[in-house]
Amino acid sequence: MTAGETPAPGARRRTTARSSLTVSVWTMVSRITGLARVAVIGAVLGPTYFSNVFVQANQVPNWIFTATAGPVLALVLVPALVRSLVSAGPQASIELLARVTGYLITRASLGTALLVLASPLIALAPTFGIPDQASRAQAWWLTILVLLFVAPQVVGYMLINIGVAAQQARSRYAIAAAAPAIENIGLIATMSVVALLYQPDLEVAGVPLSMVVLLGLGSTASVVFHAAVQLYGAHRCGMPVRVGRRWQADDAVNEITHRLRRSLVVAVSPSASMFAMLALAGTVPGGSAVFQAGMSVYFVLNALGVKSVNAAALPGMSAANERHDTARFGAAWREALCLGVTASLPAACLLIAFAEPTASVLIQGHLRTPEIMRWVTAALSVFAFAQLANAVGEIGRQALFARLDVRGPRRVSFVNLVVRLGVGLASLALPAGGDRLLGLSCAVLAGEAAGAMLTLWLLHRAIRPQQLFDTARLGRIALAVVAMLPAAGLGYWLVQARVHERFPQLLVAAGLGAVSAVCFGFTLAALSGQLPVIRARLRAKLRVGEPVCAVPSSRGKTAS
């Protein structure tokens, strides 16, 4: 296919769907380790105020990175690189990437310096919920120390995301999606060493300095290894990441940096709202760890669904916009939305049905009490709806960025932030326990729902008279969800009424969850007319004497 040709709709669908599946599979690998990381932190540090301090302080570098570039980096950089690859070729794109990297590393270095200088002020937020004044003062010093050790992570996260964007622009996804497992495994190893060397459940007054140093160094080393793997992935796909100079005099770089600056609200909003949510959760002993445990499932579903679809669909939408092909752009948007709903809607149903077994996996060690289990179970049910709203909003926001629209995503992010903070602050009126944490979960849902509705309205205005929804395909997805509900409902009934021990609960969730997923997939394939194709491929794979991965092509040859 030449550069100017438009692929057939079926070919585009297969490419986007398969790329999304690739991202989902490798993301699942990394996100499973992410869940293990959250569980290990909670098990080792327990329901303590020091747990709140470490969880929040360790997240600050990621928030600083998010405020300087964050989620908009790929949304701005990938379309620019795709445009450069189409019009100028790989070498010019490598040079463009180098100059953009020079600008971004400079920005990240300033963010690191700002974090170091502002650490005494930042340390007030994780500690304001500690009632005892002496413990609060000790926690303040410990927070500053952790912040100093983790501050270099800002540059590390910038390099990580530049490497991811470079791979995404060349439609390479596996390393980018799997590499976060390196960081998670590194922090799990650090927490394991802490568990061996120190007593569990230490409060701020009893935490030794060596333990804080070990936590800070281990966390930062994990980010460094993650960055090294992402840079290797970028180099392997022909887009090596170098730090270039003279980016101030490059018009193409100035256009990218201008869009990044205009997207500051989009970048700041997620980190600001998450920082606020964890600070509010810190008013409950161990609340930050519990809230982050619930949010970790939200992020996993988000990564397996919308993030995977976005990574696969953004280059195609960007290329369609560059060629002013409105029909192809509209088709790509509808395809991405349907794939996002296909991933997120069944996940929401399964999470609601099996919230209690999921909570039993997340909450381990000294954090595991009946009360905290109830908190997390209720919060997961709310996050199930929130991740569905987030999927719609994220895919729509990406479509706006692919059209080089910055103003629309800024408005969406502002609305999301205001609604989250408003509902979150109102939750302080609730008792300092599960009710307050559930209120914070509802704040996340309210913000995502408001943002999704505004995004759809803006996108409808931007692409009309193109159709906004593929109603027929969305209807088939809804019917497939109905087909999975009996198995999911049976699992919910068994967990709630019959099975109360942890291991049998997990068996019920795994077994009936798998049955539900098969019912969904089979029904969707049948409604979409894909069953004959699937049967033909299975026959080809089971044919005696042929490789398992071989499928006969239309020309009579074997295509691997």
* pLDDT tens, position by position, 214-225: 999 999 999 999
The pLDDT value given to residue 500: 62
pLDDT at 533 over 70: no
**Which residue bears the tokens 């409950």?**
284
What is the number of alpha carbons within 13 Å of residue 467 lying toward its C-beta?
Answer: 10
The two most distant CA atoms of the chain are separated, in Å, by: 78
Q: Cα angle vertex 61, ends 60, 67, to 5°?
A: 90
Query: 94-103, 195-204, 320-329 — which one is most confidently predicted on average?
Result: 94-103
Cα dihedral sign for 507, 385, 343, 345?
A: positive
- C-alpha to C-alpha distance for 370 and 376, rounded to whole angstroms: 10
Q: Using only the alpha carbons of the chain, give its radius of gyration.
A: 24
The pLDDT value given to residue 152: 93
- C-alpha to C-alpha distance for 117 and 125, rounded to whole angstroms: 15
Yes or no: say if 360 and 499 are a contact pair by the CB < 8 Å rule.
Answer: no
Cα dihedral sign for 304, 310, 313, 314?
A: negative
Classify residue 497 by burial, with Cβ atoms within 10 Å: 0-12, 13-18, 19+: exposed
- C-alpha to C-alpha distance for 485 and 342, rounded to whole angstroms: 15
Pairing type for strands 551-552 and 558-559 reads antiparallel
Least confident stretch, 76-85, 300-309, 371-380:
300-309
List all residues 6 or more positions away from 363 whose beta carbon is below 8 Å from its beta carbon.
Answer: 39, 42, 290, 293, 372, 373, 376
Band (541; pLDDT cuts 50, 70, 90): low
Yes or no: say if 219 and 60 are a contact pair by the CB < 8 Å rule.
Answer: no
pLDDT at 46 over 80: no
- C-alpha to C-alpha distance for 290 and 48, rounded to whole angstroms: 11
The pLDDT value given to residue 499: 62
The pLDDT value given to residue 560: 32
pLDDT at 335 over 60: yes
Classify residue 464 by burial, with Cβ atoms within 10 Å: 0-12, 13-18, 19+: exposed
- C-alpha to C-alpha distance for 128 and 501, rounded to whole angstroms: 38
Q: In whole angstroms, how far apart are CA 426 and each of 119, 385, 550?
A: 28, 20, 59
> Hey, how many other C-beta atoms are within 10 angstroms of the C-beta on 469?
15
Stretch 162-167: mean pLDDT: 90
The pLDDT value given to residue 454: 93
- C-alpha to C-alpha distance for 475 and 529, rounded to whole angstroms: 14
Stretch 226-237: mean pLDDT: 92
| Local structure of 546: helix, strand or coil | coil
- C-alpha to C-alpha distance for 520 and 476, rounded to whole angstroms: 10
Stretch 473-479: mean pLDDT: 92
Per-residue pLDDT reduced to its tens digit, 75-102? 788 888 888 887 778 888 888 889 889 8
Residues β-bridged to residue 559: 551
Classify residue 364 by burial, with Cβ atoms within 10 Å: 0-12, 13-18, 19+: middle
Least confident stretch, 67-81, 154-168, 534-548:
534-548
Per-residue pLDDT reduced to its tens digit, 261-297? 777 777 677 777 877 888 888 777 767 777 877 887 8
In terms of phi and psi (left: phi > 0; alpha: psi -120 to 50; beta: otherwise), the region of 324 is left
The pLDDT value given to residue 520: 92
Yes or no: say if 180 and 229 are a contact pair by the CB < 8 Å rule.
Answer: no
The pLDDT value given to residue 534: 65
Query: Six-digit token pair at 89?
Result: 């070729």
Length of the chain: 560
Mean confidence (pLDDT) of the chain: 81
Higher pLDDT, 108 or 177: 108
Per-residue pLDDT reduced to its tens digit, 114-152? 999 999 988 887 777 677 777 788 888 888 999 999 999
- C-alpha to C-alpha distance for 6 and 320, rounded to whole angstroms: 9
| Local structure of 43: helix, strand or coil | helix
The pLDDT value given to residue 554: 40
What is the number of alpha carbons within 13 Å of residue 438 lying toward its C-beta?
Answer: 14
| Local structure of 559: helix, strand or coil | strand
Domain residue spans of the chain:
19-469, 470-526, 530-560
pLDDT at 507 over 80: yes
Residues β-bridged to residue 187: none
pLDDT at 186 over 90: yes
The pLDDT value given to residue 14: 44
Element (H, E) at 558: strand 558-559
Stretch 413-425: mean pLDDT: 90
Least confident stretch, 11-25, 278-292, 472-486:
11-25
Residues β-bridged to residue 558: 552
pLDDT at 338 over 50: yes
